[in-house]
Structure 1
Amino acid sequence: MIELKEIDKGIILIATEYHDVDLNLLFITKNNDNYLLDTSTSIQIKAIIDRLGITPKNAIISHAHLDHAGGSGYLSNQGTKVIAHPITASLLSDLDSSIYSFFPKRYIKWIGKEESEKFIKLIKEELGEPKITSINLPNSDFIKCLDAFGHVAGAIVCQSKGILFSGDEIQGSGIRGKTETNAIPQISSIPEYLLTIYKIIQIKPEIIIPAHNYLPINKRVIEGSEVDKFLYSSLEAVFKLLNIAESILEKPITLGQFTQKLLEEYGIKRKVYPQALITAEAILKYFDRKVKKIKEGDVILYSMK
């Protein structure tokens, strides 16, 4: 499914899907210039461009994950200038960096070898051969991009008129898929993620287009009073996760156990998955001096001091 919807003059929402969740891209045109915001996967990008009916002059990658940067190689080969933050460009500069920034090797012990191999194969297939050709982010009345770290390093959000493309950089209270993708927000840095939310609150966008169907709004186009609801629910989700974590850490626990209990008490019925481990580690880092580490061989236990 690939549908086009005009949000404003010269701003088209490209509504498609990524496995069992929504996936949104934006195409912005003005005079003889245009920008595609995000590039989906290497598998889907050609169909998106065929449906759009035009090869973009420019494409901007919001961050280095496969469902956002995977189409960059194809577009670059078609003559599109592919733009990203310098950190994102570095993360996508070689295969190992592309894979293991998204799925650190240390997670294999918690996910299992067989599942990890499947996940790594998926990343390789959908990321393809990403290519960034410019690190000069636009900053004009037409389109402006801002640092929005926290979900991952090198992440950005882009604004045109009063419309903000937020990508995965703000995640509400999590995501609900059609089958298996129910998830807590994926956060690599709690302080930076909170800073990004506060930054967007100050911008006061009229409309937010998220990359996926984030709760509690669960819509492709967030507007009116739902904008504030989405932004403040994103803050509330962080504080909820931190409160749950403090109670879990009353007794020594491994990272895998901590992540599983975090999911369960947040209300996610799902086994430990890589993105949840990223959030769990970010929470432990946030507490830092309040957390005691007990090491025994290769095992580390965490608990509040």
Structure 2
Amino acid sequence: MMRAIYILPALVVLLVLVLSSVFIVDERKKALVLQFGQVMQVKKEPGLGFKVPLMQDVVLYEDRILGLQTQPIEVTLLSDRRLVVDAFARWRIVDLVEFRQSVGTGGEDRAQALLGNILSQAIPEVLGNATQEQVLSQDRGALMNQILTIAKREGAALGVDVIDVRLTRTDLPEQNLEATFARMRAEREREAADEKARGGEAAQRVRASADRTVIELTSDARRQAEVIRGEADAERNRILAEAYERDPEFFAFTRSLSAYEVSLKGGNSSIVMQPDSEFFDYLRSDRGPGGTAAAPAAPAPAVPAAP
């Protein structure tokens, strides 16, 4: 009975010691086994691991790619222009022993702060030798590669690998924004005025060309109309000449009738001429054209006497 009393606590202590000597590392982590602060074992593969109970401790670190967003940094470019820049970096722990010696007990948080300092020094160093056009252009991969090279070199001393660095913002300082916007507005207004002036000049050229074309077409149409009118008059005169040659007396008679029709129309106009004028030859003659007897004239209506 007394033996059972001692065996049971011993089994409990033994079980506790066995359980405390076993640790588990999943696929997202890496582990260091430390004894009094010294690295005794590196566990990179996921699974079970063993350590000396009560003497050794296990510290887990991320095996995944981590991200770092830097604080905004104000840099002076090669053209003495100032920009506010921040960047995003991706990094990963590659050497656990070196990483532990560099960051101590701070772990990933301490590494983030150290990498932030590295980038805060690398970004002004690289962008200080670049122009504003290079920094603000879409094709600024060369600048980011230079920053990445510096970050890789400095990060290797921490036991980490900086995989990528990207510039996420490149803005003007607040105190310079209004002046820059005013200058940009002035430039755009000047460009708009130039475009309007060029447009007005082009419109004037188009109007002048259209007016010239109208004048040319109108002149040509008038010339063609005059030619056609002259040809028609010539044809009319030819026909009249042929008709006159065939029967001059009949031609003179029809022309007189046309003249009578035009001149003897009713209205407010008056005509005064001598009774024996040639205009009334066919009215006085009792013979028609060709020597034939003319039809007797209708009796004139009686005119009432004046009161």
User: Shorter-chain-normalised TM-score: which range?
Assistant: under 0.3
TM-score (norm 2): 0.24
TM-score (norm 1): 0.24
Q: Which has the higher contact order (CA 8 A, sep 6+)?
A: 1
